[in-house]
Structure 1
């Protein structure tokens, strides 16, 4: 009986070590002559080392390789090796036109190209300093190029030539929250709310339909407020040549000069996400404090942008899309039934552009309202920013319809170490309800990016508007409601939930807007400061304002390390409603991963003291338990393969109890397969990874890995658009019967794409085997064994011994040497239930015999060479 564990541990190292001994002094020479006397073999005449006979030599053929350009990976692809005309025994990588296009070369370098093999392959000598080398051991093709030949590049960013539009497919993403509230006097009230996206991809086009809804049911069974609506239908695509994004359908105006409003039409905007990361803007943040486990809803003009459950305590939402502009409505629904709302005016960095470049945004269509359809006349708008020099940018734009015109001009200056500043002025002219209103609005913006402090951003903005100045959205409101805000029929105005409120507020009248955001980290002190302030004043109604201040610091007390102290203060005032709050938290680590926090909160005129304990069960599950003088609650978060699920339960004095559950996930369907998966941003970019039909393979993109489903498919969602992304097999969590021969893949996807990549995974048992040909001899030392998917499953050692992986009952494997496929193995039809402990005795039938049999065993789609078949 074979001691398979001993052979398994010693076979491959000894084989590779022998090859290193043989060739150790031969590197750098043309042909290598092996001294086979140093090998401990019983038959030194039956050896096939042809594949190792020349230093760096790769047999002519086509190989799947990862291309490395100056150490940075280019997406994996097939690379052909041919024998050059001047060296019939050699081989050289063929850099095809499609591969060269992905290198991101400047036009001046492309003009110098020369080609060989009838124009199929680039001649590396045509670019001085260019070097190309292949390595089969790592399946890598290394290309070295002087940076002078390359376009602008950055870490994790690829030029447009390497962008992948993905595959055609369908997607359905959702974000659902269900709540059940019980109160002794009012009974039970249940509600279900959510939002999501349905979409389809075809080539470069992405078609999307966004939905949102809410259903409430009282204890007597009657349904209360019910609403399900499609918030917008639209299609978009990237236009890489213009660094722009084209959108048709229902959309929101994203402008750096004018306010945002909803319209139906088309827009063509320069897309910052298509630029290298250090040239992009940043997304808005929403900061607040939840008194209990709460639901946070962020909307704009009635459209829900973000909805999530948060645990009791301070929250900070940072994953909003960076295209969001204008004023955001934030609604915090506490589990005790209370609701507080506030507005956040998003900040924007000064409108600066790289020297010599022009950024632009164009749109045309008809304004529309989510709740009552089209409004206003057909409009057109355009804006630009021109980088005049290294320091200065000029920008401007205009907007018009039959009765409204606005014109804006401005300039920006890069102050280098002191940040950046811009100033602009906008004049509007509106005719409505028999009046002509003309006014100006002035704006000043400043920002400073502190890269030495983890790229924190400080922003300050100020806008002053004359009394008769109207933005486009204010003009549209005035057309609909009248200058005094009274809609025909006396129904008042719509709130953020699409409900009419009895309020007659004058339209427009904005006077001054102050916006300040500071986010800075002090590493030496272990402290972080975040502050934001928004104030809007009006000519004829009360001011609104909102400010937040968050201070946190880590410190040690004696033997207790990594304690933290945080203070969160906020104040919100809108018309006659004012909300002040404060949360003071002291936390200390408890156990390996747990944290105990003591909170002192003041909000809504009430003081509460509570304690919270949070911990991580494992990489996928975490929880929080909290108790106060008035309530107790629990919060559980689970990151699953098919959805993210949050559970929340609380009870408060007065017999008030709440149970909530939220689920975020999606489904993706392509011609290559389908999978359910978790997702954070609905309708976003994703990557489908194919593990070749092997289930339960852990695939990691970001965060916790997700496992392939029963069909061998896994989807990694929330992929960053236009940024290089890597997906890999988590080797530490692989099942014992699975082996990954290719564990990493990289690609750069355009916005909304469904990427597709396959990873080479072998599933099956592992065991020693002894191979014999028809005449009783053994295949030569160094022969290779592959399965029906052309995956390497073993290398033959002395006397036909081989350690095989990926053994499946009744499957075929093929043995190759001398550059040809020689014979075929048939594995046992039934494998032992207790595993393979003895060496398998396998006969290897000649390929020619297999092809002449009544049922050919030729591999699907693979031509088997019949010349020089084994004897």
Structure 2
């Protein structure tokens, strides 16, 4: 029954009269000492200013903030750390104080130190007691209930607790989710015509899953169709996984990628057992990079790693930023191709390396992989065994190491990361040996030495994200280079066609200048080879600043491949809002001036913005003028995020070319309640069930509302951490009452959790009533024929209640004696069908003794 409503009404009535005392909630670990609850307080009922003073029963408020006996859905906090949401029965003691009756499930989830916990509590637990009064069994414990917030605070002395790190969530509370199937999709159709030739293509990427219990099956792939080229479906990976909370890890079987934390990322088919830092509390946790580029036309951008396309999108002319890549590991360069509408292409590589990571003392990471290498560029499937381990040795040093091996290769790495006052430094050495035939020079062995550095200088506003240097001897090969070299020999090619790295330098840094002077940034990579001429280079430097509402920046990009091909780009940009900056729908005007190494000049102006109550519409219009015969061109693009899917489209027209694209993305979720669609793509989601609450907004992300069937999908939950999900019934049928509007859940990674928000219909009524000519006692409870508390008596005997039936009787109780009860009847006026807002109906009727 919905006791929360009654508790709120009683609290509100007393608060208005200035008589209500609310015990403080536990603000920190010392809150037990400051948590002072009033005891044996006597209220002067004369201050109520009501006619029937003797009828006001205030005894139950004499010992703190006590609710009426009944069942409440509450958020339970232990020493200010949230434990769980649960229905809790409140019972009345002989002294009329009310205490929470905690069941076995609730108490067993409290992180007690069972060696020091009182024997009386252990006896209650072992005896199967289903109504445990913590205050009476645990000396020094205190309870405070806030009926307005539906929050139950339980303070327990730390001597009885097993201390955990801040942010800890008991693994027993992790939710595996419900049986479900998901299909995430991202579709993009692209067409262009240039110099009398057409180019049409279509791309679909899918992320599908099937969850049964704690087992999650995943399949990720993409389909590419090209009118004048190959069309095929490409499987990225298919695997089955299961979390193992006791070892803070996960087992995976099928096709996936190694982590790349120590060795470079490798695609494999096999079995992997690895730890997951996300299972640790946030306070104990020890990277896909942003991709920037410049498109000359409305272009198609593809991102690949290890020869596999992992991302594709359409961008407008000008500078673009891709910052929503799914992480595929911590190492391995990303290859980016910009397919221009006029048929030309740009290629560049983005270094993808992790920073030196230190671990806390005693904590560790592990990763074991057994299987076979997956690569379209190697004819066979070489065996792969990989084992890595990292451990925090003390507050300063973290040791790490690993091995990669098969019958024809091995690599052994040992290293350490050190935290110093001037930054984090990691150094390691890797010894490798590759079996090769005598005709190719015989077995090759060598070493690779790596040094990396990371530091944020808060004093100077500097951020040196990554500085790394690796030197490899001529005989050293990493696993992929070794397998490619052996494959080249098998295929009859020169083994020197596979480059063996010699020196590699990477750098990413930013520097904030004095106030008002902006920020400069730089990134770059340089790599040369033992058996190839030239080097691969990529550098970017830039400067950003703003003056009032005007933002501006300049950047220089340079890339050079080992074949000697150079490409430079220079960009100067300005951006300013076209209206008040405080209006979220104010459009932005951006102008770009661009020059490349071929002497081509381009000027571009773009207006972009959003519209709609939840910014569900996005639009952009740009005009460009280019030199060397490029002429003028224009591009229009727009995006609409509906409640079920996200749609986009663009059109571009220029000298001797035109192009267009349409796209659609979202996720389809099949769950026990049916099928629900969402415009968002996410791995870990919640399905909200709120029957009858169509139109109610759901927290976290804009545009998420309960559909006509009573469901909504909430994306991007943080796994293994508590996520609060609220339902706002403001736009739902006002005759519907939700039993609770907020719940919290800690899902497994990849889980589809289901949160049910109970509801029942009801109509608000205001009844002016008297008993024997005098107002009904203030603060009395009002219950319906089923025994549910539906309201309370305010001043002047006025009852505010929410009733479920169109006619009936309400019982008013201000004590347990039959002489302290009466009842009132009501009949509601007919309400128009389909009406969203229900008027408060008002009656005047006497209260009759039972």
Distance 1:227 1:613 in 2: 37
Aligned length: 799
Tell me the equivalent position of 2:725. Answer: 727
Provide TM-score, normalisation by structure 2.
0.82
Q: Which range is displaced more, 821-830 or 14-23?
A: 821-830
Q: Which range is displaced more, 525-534 or 243-252?
A: 525-534
**Which of these residues, 562, 567, 587, is aligned with residue 575 of structure 2?**
587
Confirm whether residue 413 of structure 1 aligns to residue 415 of structure 2: no
Distance 2:379 2:810 in 1: 66
Confirm whether residue 596 of structure 1 aligns to residue 589 of structure 2: yes
Residues 698 and 22 of structure 1: CA distance in aligned 2, closer, same or farther (over 3 Å): closer
Tell me the equivalent position of 2:667. Answer: 666
Corresponding residue SS for 1:225: coil
CA RMSD of aligned residues (A): 4.2
**Which of these residues, 475, 499, 512, is aligned with residue 503 of structure 2?**
512
Corresponding residue SS for 1:259: coil
* CA deviations over 1:232-278 (Å, ceiling 9, x no partner): 11122332322222211111111322222211111112222233446
Shift of residue 115, structure 1, vs aligned partner: 3.9
Tell me the equivalent position of 1:153. Answer: 165
* CA deviations over 1:118-171 (Å, ceiling 9, x no partner): 46448468877653322323211113456785645346x645454333333221
Shift of residue 529, structure 1, vs aligned partner: 3.3
The answer on whether the counterparts of 1:22 and 1:34 sit within 8 Å (CA) in structure 2 is: no
Tell me the equivalent position of 2:535. Answer: 543
Shift of residue 690, structure 1, vs aligned partner: 2.5
The answer on whether the counterparts of 1:151 and 1:159 sit within 8 Å (CA) in structure 2 is: no
The answer on whether the counterparts of 1:685 and 1:717 sit within 8 Å (CA) in structure 2 is: yes
Correspondence 1:622-661 to 2 at 5 A: 622-629=618-625, 630-654=632-656, 656-661=657-662
* CA deviations over 1:811-856 (Å, ceiling 9, x no partner): 989767469999898975941468766836699999xxxxxxxxxx
**Which of these residues, 200, 207, 210, is aligned with residue 217 of structure 2?**
207
Tell me the equivalent position of 1:495. Answer: none
The answer on whether the counterparts of 1:421 and 1:447 sit within 8 Å (CA) in structure 2 is: yes
Shift of residue 43, structure 1, vs aligned partner: 6.0
Tell me the equivalent position of 2:28. Answer: none
Tell me the equivalent position of 2:792. Answer: 795
Query: Structure 2: which 5+ residue stretches go unaligned?
Result: 1-8, 24-35, 581-585, 626-631
Residues 59 and 767 of structure 1: CA distance in aligned 2, closer, same or farther (over 3 Å): closer
Distance 2:787 2:116 in 1: 38
Q: Which range is displaced more, 447-456 or 168-177?
A: 447-456
Tell me the equivalent position of 1:425. Answer: 429
Tell me the equivalent position of 1:176. Answer: 187
The answer on whether the counterparts of 1:550 and 1:569 sit within 8 Å (CA) in structure 2 is: yes
Confirm whether residue 476 of structure 1 aligns to residue 490 of structure 2: no
Residues 22 and 717 of structure 1: CA distance in aligned 2, closer, same or farther (over 3 Å): closer
Confirm whether residue 77 of structure 1 aligns to residue 86 of structure 2: yes
Distance 1:845 1:373 in 2: 89
Residues 796 and 154 of structure 1: CA distance in aligned 2, closer, same or farther (over 3 Å): same
The answer on whether the counterparts of 1:351 and 1:385 sit within 8 Å (CA) in structure 2 is: no
Distance 1:791 1:308 in 2: 56
Confirm whether residue 65 of structure 1 aligns to residue 74 of structure 2: yes
Residues 811 and 252 of structure 1: CA distance in aligned 2, closer, same or farther (over 3 Å): farther
Confirm whether residue 167 of structure 1 aligns to residue 168 of structure 2: no
Shift of residue 52, structure 1, vs aligned partner: 4.4
The answer on whether the counterparts of 1:456 and 1:519 sit within 8 Å (CA) in structure 2 is: yes
Residues 811 and 270 of structure 1: CA distance in aligned 2, closer, same or farther (over 3 Å): farther
* CA deviations over 1:468-493 (Å, ceiling 9, x no partner): 22211122223433378849xxxxxx
Distance 2:609 2:642 in 1: 18
Distance 1:602 1:625 in 2: 21
The answer on whether the counterparts of 2:11 and 2:148 sit within 8 Å (CA) in structure 1 is: no
Shift of residue 174, structure 1, vs aligned partner: 1.0
Confirm whether residue 570 of structure 1 aligns to residue 564 of structure 2: no
Corresponding residue SS for 2:394: coil
Correspondence 1:294-693 to 2 at 5 A: 294-322=299-327, 324-325=329-330, 326-369=332-375, 375-377=381-383, 379-415=384-420, 417-433=421-437, 435-450=442-457, 458-482=465-489, 486=493, 506-522=497-513, 524-525=515-516, 527-541=518-532, 542-555=534-547, 561-576=548-563, 577-592=565-580, 593-603=586-596, 605=598, 606-618=600-612, 619-629=615-625, 630-654=632-656, 656-681=657-682, 684-693=683-692
The answer on whether the counterparts of 1:666 and 1:678 sit within 8 Å (CA) in structure 2 is: yes
Residues 107 and 21 of structure 1: CA distance in aligned 2, closer, same or farther (over 3 Å): closer
The answer on whether the counterparts of 1:175 and 1:307 sit within 8 Å (CA) in structure 2 is: no
Correspondence 1:9-28 to 2 at 5 A: 15-17=13-15, 19-21=17-19
Tell me the equivalent position of 1:93. Answer: 100
Shift of residue 358, structure 1, vs aligned partner: 2.8
Distance 2:461 2:740 in 1: 34
Tell me the equivalent position of 1:861. Answer: none
Distance 1:321 1:568 in 2: 26
Corresponding residue SS for 1:369: coil
Q: Which range is displaced more, 745-754 or 785-794?
A: 785-794
* CA deviations over 1:538-588 (Å, ceiling 9, x no partner): 122242222222321122xxxxx2211112322222343433222210122
Corresponding residue SS for 1:532: strand
Tell me the equivalent position of 1:707. Answer: 705
* CA deviations over 1:473-529 (Å, ceiling 9, x no partner): 122223433378849xxxxxxxxxxxxxxxx97124122221111145457336233
Shift of residue 686, structure 1, vs aligned partner: 1.1
Correspondence 1:130-141 to 2 at 5 A: 130-141=141-152
Distance 1:458 1:418 in 2: 13
Residues 216 and 322 of structure 1: CA distance in aligned 2, closer, same or farther (over 3 Å): closer
Tell me the equivalent position of 2:226. Answer: 216
Corresponding residue SS for 1:320: coil
Shift of residue 386, structure 1, vs aligned partner: 2.3
The answer on whether the counterparts of 2:687 and 2:711 sit within 8 Å (CA) in structure 1 is: yes
Residues 96 and 373 of structure 1: CA distance in aligned 2, closer, same or farther (over 3 Å): farther
Shift of residue 396, structure 1, vs aligned partner: 1.2
Tell me the equivalent position of 2:4. Answer: none
Query: Structure 1: which 5+ residue stretches go unaligned?
Result: 1-10, 219-223, 488-503, 556-560, 847-869
Residues 637 and 461 of structure 1: CA distance in aligned 2, closer, same or farther (over 3 Å): same
Q: Which range is displaced more, 258-267 or 632-641?
A: 632-641
The answer on whether the counterparts of 2:257 and 2:328 sit within 8 Å (CA) in structure 1 is: no
